[in-house]
Structure 1
Amino acid sequence: MAGNNDQDSRVARKRNQPQPPKRHWFRRIVLTLIALFVVGALAGIGLFFYYAQSSPTITESNLKSENATRIYDANNKLIANFGTSNREYVKSNQIPATLKSAVVSIEDRRFYQHKGVDYYRILGAALGNLKGSSLGMQGGSTLTMQLVKLSVFSTNTSDRNLRVKAQEAWLALNVEKHFSKAQILEFYINKVYMGNGIYGMGTAAKYYYGKSLNNLNLSQLALLAGMPQSPTYYNPYTYPSYATNRRNLVLQAMYDSKAITKQQETTAEAVNVKTGLAKTHGSIVTQQKKQKVIDAYLTEVRADLKKKGYDPATSGVKVYTNLNMNAQQRLYDIANTSKYVSYPDKNFQLGVSVVDSYTGKVSAMIGGRKHTNVTYGFNRAVRTDRSNASTMKPILDYGPAIEYESWPTYKTVADTKFKYPGHNTSVNDFDNNTLGNMTMRSALVQSRNIPAVRTLAQVGRTRAKNFANQLGMNLKGTIPYSNAIGAEVSSLQVAGAYAAFANGGTYHKPYYINKIVTQDNRTVNYTSNGKRVMKQSTAYMITDMLKDVINSASGTGTTAKISGVYQAGKTGTDDYPDNLKGTVPSDAMLDSWMAGYTKNYSVSVWTGYDQKNQGYIDNSNAKISQNIYREMMTYLQQYSPNSDWAKPSSVGTVKKNGIEELYVVGHLFSNAEANSGTTGSSINNGTTTTQSSSSSTDHTMTQSSSSSASSSEAASSSSEAASSSESSSEAASSSEASSSSHEASSSTAASSSTADNNQHAGQ
């Protein structure tokens, strides 16, 4: 007992001793979290009102207007929109109650309870995001917020941020103060995009079913109610399975909201989603189909908008383009009437690009002839599957020769028998002839192929490709020598490159859009920043030689001549591949080009047939490209100053054979230097030892005798072996040797777009 008493006393004494304070860690954590929540909430409220202060203005007009993207020309005149031109606006009393229920059930079940912002849905959406689940119709945006987005904000990715969401919520609260729920639902049903250029469910009813909303059944109304989420994939014509799933989801939501019975849901789900679809669309004609004149331009603007992050169908932005509508109309008339140019048949096609020489603005474009009801049709002006033939020569051959080697225009080049370096394939010309030695000017003016390929070999393919790519050619890998007389580039690329020659050596990438104004009145401006890609001397000397293509009696582009107009240009024709030559006349060609420029505009024209069995270019229609160019440039120059190019101080002049030739100051070639690295007879002291054939009238040149040609060819073989190694910087390149082997095999392929032995290529 005594022991127990002692133990009890010890316990009592311990109890009476002062105890250390308890550590309330849990309470501290809770209080800290509450404080952080309060601070976060206050910060969020402050940020919300900060963003709300800069919200755009929203009006009834904004809410009721069509949400189409509007396109303007260079004079700020509305020329088209990406949407219907005859939207059928339906008033609230014309909208079936069933459709209203369907829209509310799938988009915003608490629509009639909230005041524009549904805080329960926002919390639910946030929790759903944390769980990584998709809440479908339980997303955070109410119908009112969606209406606000469609009315004053674009749907591009840049407008999916906290600032815009806050402003949407603020504006939704204000919209709910000024408009009834019935009005808001009316605005929404008339504004949403329904695919195929259609806005509004009333218009969609006519487009998809050929009926008014009041005449549609439950299944059809449910489909229309569900389409705005993804009009493309819920299109019953093209994706019936997706459309069916979406319709059934709407029906299920309607049943869950007690808007329909289970029997009604089951019956409607059993209906084939394609039942009742209209075979034709009656009076619902999209505005684009009326825009044949600007179809090609609109096609590129539409693609450009997508690249910039805007949805052409739903962004609702204003797009101000560089289109000269008057020039575009003239170009369309030239292509589609017989008033200006005669065409051989309806299958004869063309692609034309008009670019401002000093800015790169695409002023006009046409992608083909005789469009019917095609919208956003095939645009031949930007196609890159046909050779540009000899319009490539200033870009890849002679431009680089002047830029990197300072060749004068009187530099001697050889038009004697020649094979592609590393090949057993001969380079031929349209006349199957060789003219001996000639000046670079003569070779370009008469569009001789052999001198062009020799020039590329001497300059080096790497340097030449770099020069061309700075002019927008986008050549890949080790280019074949056949690119000297044509590569697969578009008329737009050629027009952009020639514009750089026109303006003195600055390249501007061609562009269509000048500025975009979003629905909340933010303006995004676009321009093409110029980059100097060649010396002024190079641009001027190329231009001076290309003038002779049009003005000289021996030039290939004399049909393009416009009296009194200062212009320069180059022609090009592309021959049939070897394996098809037996099926067409000997003078048949695949393509005919004319590209030229003034100080104001650069115009590039391609003509030909889409399919080889539709027709061919021959001597009777090869100059149609020049006729098109001449008519278009004549029109453009009526409204533009006409002035000649001023010779820069870096270019000197010298008389050679009675012709005023040009050279780069500091690089005045002697006769020996001018003749170096060439074959054929030599030119001495400005006179020729023998006169070439009478067809060579522009400049005097020599024709080698058969014996001298033979010895010259032997010398040429040695010279070309060195030149094929791509100049001193590329000498002994193993990759070059490999490329030559590959090129040799590819040049014999029947599918080659620039067959190495083209006889007509280069005119």
Structure 2
Amino acid sequence: MILLKRTLQFFIICTLLGLITLISLYYYVKSDIPSVQVLKDVQLQTPMQVFTKDGLLINQFGEKRRIPVTINEIPTPLINAFLATEDNRFYSHIGIDPIGIVRSALVLISTGEKKQGASTITMQLARNFFLTREKAYIRKVKEIFIALHIENILTKDEILELYLNKIELGNRAFGIGAAAQVYYGKELKDLTLAQMAMIAGLPKAPSALNPIRNPTRAKSRRNVVLGRMLTEKYITQSEYNDATNQPITAYFHGAEIDLYAPYISEMVRAEMVARYGIDKAYNSGYKIFTTVESKVQQAAQTALINNLHNYDMRHGFRGPVKVLWEQETQSVLSKSQIINELQNVQELGSLKIAVVVAVNEKTADVILKNGTQSTLTWDNLKWARKYITRYRQSFAPKAATDILAPGMQIWLRKNNDDSYLLSQIPEPSSAIVSLNPQDGRIKAIVGGYSFEQSQYNRAVQAKRQVGSNIKPFIYSAALEKGYTLASILNDAPINLWDKGQGVAWRPENSPAIYNGPIRIRRALAQSKNVISVRLLRGVGLQRTADHLLKFGFKDEDINRSESLALGSASITPLELARGMSAFANGGHLIEPYFISEIQDPYGNILFKTNPVVVCDEEMNKATTIPTNFTTQNNENETNQITQCAPRIISKQNAFLIADAMHSGIWGGGSWAQKTGWSGTGWRAQALDRRDLSGKTGTTNNSVDTWFSGFNKNALTSVWVGFDNPGNPLGRSTYNNNLDSSQISGAESGAKTAQPAWIEFMKAALEGVPEAPIEPPEGLISIRIDLATGLLSHKNDYTSRFEYFDKGTAPTKYVLSQPTDIFEEETKTEEELF
């Protein structure tokens, strides 16, 4: 009886001591136990993803790869694989597993080592979110309390979902969604049983059991998982046999980039970091939908790259990257030595590095970095006459030996037929911006030849002189002053004496062709420099500068000198496109934007852009339109205010300039009567679209070249030049090895920038209905005499219908028709502007 009493007392004391110890431990670790709110609002560190307007992934930013999935998206066999391996009693215990703890304790007592863990999935979750992996008793105590706390707050499915999204699985993959992508390039639902078991085996040692680094150990661990699944009757013996016989199929899969567009994705990254800070931007799982359209963006990238290569090829071959051996004096490298040498070369975009191993009369044999051997045909070599200077090229080669020799390390590009073309890294740079002039949505933007080569985004950062692309704005100011498209000015040389410098300023047309009396429409279409200067003088320098500022240009970029009429202002391609949009949209100043929507990892809209749009004339005030638009500051349904773009010029002024720029492509006069003339943008006729207007632009010495063109719904500006301001683009001579369609002569907006615009617009507008700019009310159309700009009674090649704003049309009829005004003009290959 006494023994029983003392035993009972002993147990009571032990129980009390245990309770006191437990309570003491609880209060000791209480500060480490997360709040209910923290557990309910736990944020997974998910990379930021950037998409095109139509949903293609163009980039992702963040150190950790994670693809969050819901419990309903996880296949049952994958869940069973984790349960069988990590915590088979997960759905029955309270967060800690007494059986597992006892088993672990017995191992510790018998061996003195902590060889076997007793962590449940809930305890692992507690450790992964709130603790370290340090093997310390106090950490285990904290783990137990946090696990019990988690079980009290979350359901079993919520706990398992968090765990499977959080767990580290190697190769920077966190969570099963990312692991499926990294190792197999698949979604969870497409995994095989063997692949699911492989992933489920990774938590024990993500690096040591990695199937990419250690396939043998990974296969052994996979089969252990499959064995546990068989023991727990999650799979049949037949399924087990089949799965264990499967080979290791894992290899590294990068992010599933659907469209590589680094310049726009970098713009998004910089904007998101500015908004949210780098940690939140990179790890909050934001999904950013840009405004660019995948087809249009790809077309812009391709057109820019092709155009730069075309420029580079007509200026000649600059020789090999390096020479690995001289045939006469050095030993020839073996194939393996060549491949080993090429492994040190970082390939650039579509360019592939190769070494010439043999040269015949009309062919050359090469070995590429991947070991592929290929033969370059004469058609892929014959362009490569020797580069001398930017203004001179050597003779057209007659044999492959004139171009290449064994041992040369060269660049190649792939043709559409998979053959290789001798190539080189282009010297000049370029930018393309295409936007919707009605709302400012950027449809495509490319800031250079290669983001890997240079992250400098010329589309938004490079302020370059715009040349004759400034003239539509100068002419717009002239229309406001009272000039019309039929006004006659003298296309004759100008000599202005500068008393301060003791010299005469002599702006010249380029080419130096002067037509005498000329209508403003034709002067703009043919980019007459002296007419632009005369108009600036007629309007006034300050008044012209003030007019240009209406188009969104910065005051410091608009110089106050008469050279402004010839394009000495320096602005970026995006700024130019924004200003030019006013002629396409009826006179409004839009705000370009490139982010349309920001979502959280689960697709909830956090931000949606409310662009400034061109409104109907009746919408003088902003109109409220009910939407489901939400922002980060307002989780409830709200109203989005339509923001109307401000009017900066009249719709009549905008149309008249756009129509004159239409003549810049299609020209005028009658070729049958030998009075026909071409605008400087005549090459765009190849698109066979009557809804396009355009303007070339070239600065002195062909340093900067431009082409901007548009219809009602699409405006695109292209710039080509050297990053080093002041470097001329030069000229090229005719290559006898090539056909008659080649470009030669001095580089210019028409020859250097416009070809990229044409190639881009052909692809971007394919299948898109024409969208002409319709004449607005307030204009009248009357027949005028082409020589004098006065009214005409004639209905022949000496006259045409011209548009006038009300009150500006001529009131007198022509009395006689001069016969010496019109002379036949041929398309010259020297037009620069």
TM-score, length-scaled by structure 1: 0.54
| 2:62 pairs with one of 83, 103, 122 | 83
Structure 2 residue 456 is the aligned partner of structure 1 residue 378:
yes
Say what the alpha-carbon RMSD is for the aligned residues: 4.9
Shift of 1:463: 3.5
Structure 2 residue 770 is the aligned partner of structure 1 residue 642:
yes
In 1: Cα distance, 2:768 partner to 2:38 partner: 41
In 2: Cα distance, 1:695 partner to 1:471 partner: 35
Q: What is residue 360 of structure 1 aligned with on the other side?
A: 440
- Provide closer, same or farther for how the CA distance between residues 408 and 614 of structure 1 changes in structure 2, counting only shifts above 3 A: closer
Residues 297-696 of structure 1 mapped to structure 2, 5 A cutoff: 297-309=264-276, 311=278, 312-337=281-306, 343-344=312-313, 346-369=426-449, 371=450, 373-374=452-453, 377-395=455-473, 397-402=474-479, 404-418=480-494, 424-476=504-556, 479-486=560-567, 487-518=569-600, 521-529=604-612, 530-552=645-667, 553-561=677-685, 562-576=687-701, 589-611=702-724, 616-618=729-731, 619=745, 621-622=747-748, 623-654=751-782, 655-657=784-786, 658-670=799-811, 685=815, 687-688=817-818, 690-691=820-821, 694-695=824-825
In structure 2, give the amino acid aligned to 1:565: R
Shift of 1:67: 1.4
Q: What is residue 53 of structure 2 aligned with on the other side?
A: 74
- Provide closer, same or farther for how the CA distance between residues 176 and 335 of structure 1 changes in structure 2, counting only shifts above 3 A: same
Residues 59 and 260 in structure 2, CA contact (< 8 A), matched pair in contact too = no
In 1: Cα distance, 2:274 partner to 2:550 partner: 22
In 1: Cα distance, 2:150 partner to 2:170 partner: 17
Residues 307 and 755 in structure 2, CA contact (< 8 A), matched pair in contact too = no
**Unmatched runs of 5 consecutive residues or more in structure 1:** 1-51, 117-142, 144-169, 204-211, 216-282, 577-588, 673-683, 699-759
Shift of 1:696: 9.0
What SS does structure 1 have at the residue aligned with 2:660?
helix
Residues 262-277 of structure 1 mapped to structure 2, 5 A cutoff: none
- Provide closer, same or farther for how the CA distance between residues 481 and 175 of structure 1 changes in structure 2, counting only shifts above 3 A: farther
What SS does structure 1 have at the residue aligned with 2:55?
coil
In 1: Cα distance, 2:170 partner to 2:155 partner: 17
Shift of 1:659: 2.7
In 1: Cα distance, 2:571 partner to 2:253 partner: 35
If each structure's helix is expressed as a fraction of its own residues, which one has the higher value?
1
Shift of 1:320: 1.3
Residues 594 and 629 in structure 1, CA contact (< 8 A), matched pair in contact too = yes
In 2: Cα distance, 1:115 partner to 1:498 partner: 66
Shift of 1:550: 0.5
Residues 70 and 80 in structure 1, CA contact (< 8 A), matched pair in contact too = yes
In 2: Cα distance, 1:422 partner to 1:526 partner: 52
What SS does structure 2 have at the residue aligned with 1:76?
coil
Shift of 1:563: 1.3
In 2: Cα distance, 1:538 partner to 1:451 partner: 18
Shift of 1:99: 13
Deviations 1:483-514 (Å, cap 9, x if unpaired)? 22222112222222222211222221211011
Shift of 1:431: 2.8
Shift of 1:625: 1.8
Residues 259 and 294 in structure 2, CA contact (< 8 A), matched pair in contact too = no
- Provide closer, same or farther for how the CA distance between residues 174 and 532 of structure 1 changes in structure 2, counting only shifts above 3 A: farther
Deviations 1:266-310 (Å, cap 9, x if unpaired)? xxxxxxxxxxxxxxxxx999759x688411221222233344445
TM-score, length-scaled by structure 2: 0.50
In 2: Cα distance, 1:458 partner to 1:598 partner: 30
Residues 168 and 206 in structure 2, CA contact (< 8 A), matched pair in contact too = no
- Provide closer, same or farther for how the CA distance between residues 685 and 384 of structure 1 changes in structure 2, counting only shifts above 3 A: farther
Equivalences, count: 484
Shift of 1:615: 6.7
What SS does structure 1 have at the residue aligned with 2:555?
coil
If each structure's strand is expressed as a fraction of its own residues, which one has the higher value?
2
Shift of 1:640: 1.9
In 1: Cα distance, 2:151 partner to 2:434 partner: 46
- Provide closer, same or farther for how the CA distance between residues 692 and 331 of structure 1 changes in structure 2, counting only shifts above 3 A: same
In 2: Cα distance, 1:188 partner to 1:686 partner: 90
- Provide closer, same or farther for how the CA distance between residues 79 and 186 of structure 1 changes in structure 2, counting only shifts above 3 A: closer
In 2: Cα distance, 1:372 partner to 1:537 partner: 42
In 1: Cα distance, 2:40 partner to 2:563 partner: 60
Q: Which has the higher contact order (CA 8 A, sep 6+)?
A: 1
In structure 2, give the amino acid aligned to 1:667: T
In 1: Cα distance, 2:171 partner to 2:153 partner: 20
Shift of 1:602: 0.5
Q: Which moved more, 1:320-329 or 1:632-641?
A: 632-641
What SS does structure 1 have at the residue aligned with 2:772?
coil
Deviations 1:727-762 (Å, cap 9, x if unpaired)? xxxxxxxxxxxxxxxxxxxxxxxxxxxxxxxxx996
Residues 485 and 762 in structure 1, CA contact (< 8 A), matched pair in contact too = no
In 1: Cα distance, 2:457 partner to 2:811 partner: 49
Residues 567 and 598 in structure 1, CA contact (< 8 A), matched pair in contact too = yes
Deviations 1:307-358 (Å, cap 9, x if unpaired)? 4445442343221111100111122222334899675362243211111132
In structure 1, give the amino acid aligned to 2:487: K
Shift of 1:429: 2.5
Residues 717-736 of structure 1 mapped to structure 2, 5 A cutoff: none
In 2: Cα distance, 1:603 partner to 1:410 partner: 28
Residues 85 and 285 in structure 1, CA contact (< 8 A), matched pair in contact too = no
Residues 299 and 760 in structure 2, CA contact (< 8 A), matched pair in contact too = yes
Shift of 1:685: 4.7
- Provide closer, same or farther for how the CA distance between residues 401 and 285 of structure 1 changes in structure 2, counting only shifts above 3 A: farther
Q: Which moved more, 1:446-455 or 1:640-649?
A: 640-649
In 2: Cα distance, 1:569 partner to 1:686 partner: 34
Q: Which moved more, 1:184-193 or 1:589-598?
A: 184-193
In structure 2, give the amino acid aligned to 1:597: F
Residues 349 and 610 in structure 1, CA contact (< 8 A), matched pair in contact too = yes
In 1: Cα distance, 2:723 partner to 2:825 partner: 34
Shift of 1:363: 0.5
What SS does structure 2 have at the residue aligned with 1:532?
coil
- Provide closer, same or farther for how the CA distance between residues 389 and 85 of structure 1 changes in structure 2, counting only shifts above 3 A: farther
In 2: Cα distance, 1:460 partner to 1:314 partner: 55
Shift of 1:570: 0.2
What SS does structure 2 have at the residue aligned with 1:358?
coil
Quick one: percent identity of the two aligned structures? 20
In 2: Cα distance, 1:84 partner to 1:550 partner: 50
Shift of 1:558: 0.6
